């Protein structure tokens, strides 16, 4: 562990020297590469036996480099988060908590350099990470729902209201368990489907498509 920390410090030092000599342009691609490097360096074996990567990522760049990027901070963070999630998926790794990417303009960071700090932050109360992606792309962090999970249906009393005449008033429940997130159908009229197959209860896997009535959601296990 000490050697790895020393190696990272040397890496950042070399990056800083290169930045001062060549004034390299900071780009989204270079930031993504640095994030992937830190994710790989922080990969470990989780309690379940699966390899897990750090899930809390902070990127620091000089304010002038931040202004030079041809994108807003929100769009940059969203894109980097998706790239980090895709990298973990390709490496067959998971996260122990919700994946977060923050980009900060820091006057103490040398211009032309990128500082990335990746740490592992566990989910609160042992709730597994998980995100429900709406049809319009909006992402709902399931961890925030707490141990009771969320209900979905046409009725206004649900945590997620589905504006769909084919959805039942109380259609489905998504709740956490020690193994991950579970979808339970609440005796809906048209049923609940996961990847096209009707189910009464099913443990969700990364990238599963959930269809309630005629409305489809995507489950992201991070």
Cα separation, 129 vs 193, in Å, equals 21
Q: Count CB-CB contacts under 10 A for residue 111.
A: 16
pTM over 0.85: no
pLDDT tens across 108-161, in order?
999 989 999 999 876 656 678 889 999 888 889 888 888 889 999 999 999 999
What rounded mean pLDDT belongs to the chain?
85
Residue 47's pLDDT band, with cuts at 50, 70 and 90, is low
Q: 142: which DSSP letter? A: G
Residue 198: CB atoms within 10 A of its CB come to: 12
Structure tokens at 218: 């995507």
């Amino acid at each position: 562990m000490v050697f790895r920390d020393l190696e990272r410090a040397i890496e950042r030092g070399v990056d800083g020297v290169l930045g001062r000599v060549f004034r390299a342009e900071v780009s989204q691609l270079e930031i993504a590469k640095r994030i992937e490097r830190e994710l790989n360096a922080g990969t470990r074996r989780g309690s379940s036996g699966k390899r897990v990567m750090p899930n809390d990522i902070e990127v620091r760049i000089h304010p002038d480099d931040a202004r030079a990027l041809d994108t807003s901070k929100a769009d940059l963070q969203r894109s980097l988060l998706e790239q980090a999630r895709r990298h973990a998926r390709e490496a067959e790794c998971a996260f122990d908590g919700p994946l977060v990417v923050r980009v900060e303009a820091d006057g103490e960071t040398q211009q032309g350099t990128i500082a990335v700090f990746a740490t592992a932050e566990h989910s609160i109360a042992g709730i597994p990470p998980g995100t429900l992606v709406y049809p319009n792309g909006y992402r709902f962090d399931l961890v925030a729902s707490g141990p009771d999970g969320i209900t979905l249906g046409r009725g206004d009393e649900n945590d997620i209201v589905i504006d769909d005449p084919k959805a039942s008033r109380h259609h489905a429940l998504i709740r956490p368990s020690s193994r991950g997130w579970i979808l339970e159908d609440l005796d809906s009229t048209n049923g609940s489907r996961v990847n096209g197959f009707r189910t009464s209860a099913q443990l969700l896997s990364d990238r599963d498509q959930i269809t309630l009535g005629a409305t489809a959601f995507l489950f992201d296990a991070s």
